[in-house]
Amino acid sequence: MKLISGVTALTLSLATLQGFASNEHAHADAHTLEQQNLMLEKNTDGKGYGPQAPRDLLQKSGTNKRVFNPAPGYKKMNLCNIHVHENAEHKGGDFTTFAGYCDGKGYGTGYKYAGQLTTAEAVKLPDEVCKSDHGSLQVGDTIEIHYVHSSAQVKPGPTLNACLSEADSNPQLRVEAQVFVLVNDAKAAGFSKLTAVGEVGGYQQALNIPANSGKPIQYAGSTTGPTYNEKGSPLQVTWSVRPKVIKVNAASVGEWCKGNVFNEDHAHGVRNLVTNPKLLSNM
C-alpha cells in the first residue's frame, strides 16, 4: 500500500470537510422547510383557506373544499402587474431541478431550468443583473414571470395593489406564468418586448405573452411569494403556467430592471411548493 503525501492527505481532508458541510447545509435546509410546512399546516388547519399556490404541476390531486369560478381568459381582463421571481416557483415541465433552500426566506430556493446552454450562451456578463440586497441575477439563472390580470377597471402599475380599484376591491384574478432562463445572446428574446403593454379591444394587455411554450397548465390557487411560507394566502387566483422554458437575453433583463412602469428592480423570492392536499385544488 502506498503512503499518501501530506498535500494529498490535506486535499482529501478538505474535500471530506466540504462534503460534510454540504450535507449539514442540506440537512438544515430540509429542517427549515419541514418547520415551515408544519407552520403552514398549523396556521391554515380548519380556517377555511382556499386552494394555494405554487404547486408541483404533476400533482394533479387536491382535496381543498373551497371552490370559486375560474377567471375569464386574460384577453378579457386588464393586465395590472408584471413581476419577476428568482428561480421558478412552480415545479414541472422544463423546470424540475431543485435550486436549494438558502436563507429560508424565499431566496435561493425554487426550481431551475433542467436543460443545457451552449458555450456561447453561458458566458457570464461583466455586470450584475438586477442587483439587490439579496444578490443579483446572472447568465444561466432561471426566472418565473407573472403576468397578473384583474377583472377590475385598472391600469398596469406597481405591486398587486394595482389590481384593485375603489370600485372593485374584490376582482377576479388571473396569472399567466412563464419561466425563462437568462442567456448571453443578443438574438434571444428581449425582455422589454416580452413585458410591453398596451390597450387591445378596450383592455390593458401584455402584448407579447409567449404562445410557443406549450399548452398552459391551469388550476385554482392563490397569490404566492415568501410572505406565505408559513401562512395561507386569502386571495383567489386562476393560474395558467406554461411548461416550456424560453431563453431570454440576460442583458435585456438588466435594462428592464433599471426602469419600468411596475417599479420592479429586482427578482423576488419564492414561496415553497404547497404539497399538502388539503391546500390544493383538484386539477
Torsion, Cα of 227, 230, 236, 237 (10° steps):
60
DSSP state of 89: S
**pLDDT tens by residue, the chain, 283 residues:** 333 333 333 333 333 323 333 343 444 466 678 889 899 999 999 999 999 999 999 999 999 999 999 999 999 999 999 999 999 999 999 999 999 887 777 888 999 999 999 999 999 999 999 999 888 999 999 999 999 999 999 999 999 999 999 999 899 999 999 999 999 999 999 999 999 999 999 999 999 999 999 999 999 999 999 999 999 999 999 999 999 999 999 999 999 999 999 999 999 999 999 999 999 999 9
Residue 10 pLDDT? 32
Residue 30 pLDDT? 60
Tell me phi and psi for residue 158, to 5 degrees. -70, 145
DSSP state of 202: T
Residue 31 pLDDT? 64
Residue 34 pLDDT? 84
Residue 13 pLDDT? 37
Residue 27 pLDDT? 44
CA-atom Rg of the chain in angstroms: 21
Are 239 and 253 in contact by the 8 Å Cβ rule? The answer is: no
SS3 4: coil
Are 239 and 71 in contact by the 8 Å Cβ rule? The answer is: no
Residue 29 pLDDT? 65
| Alpha-carbon span 242 to 177, nearest angstrom | 6
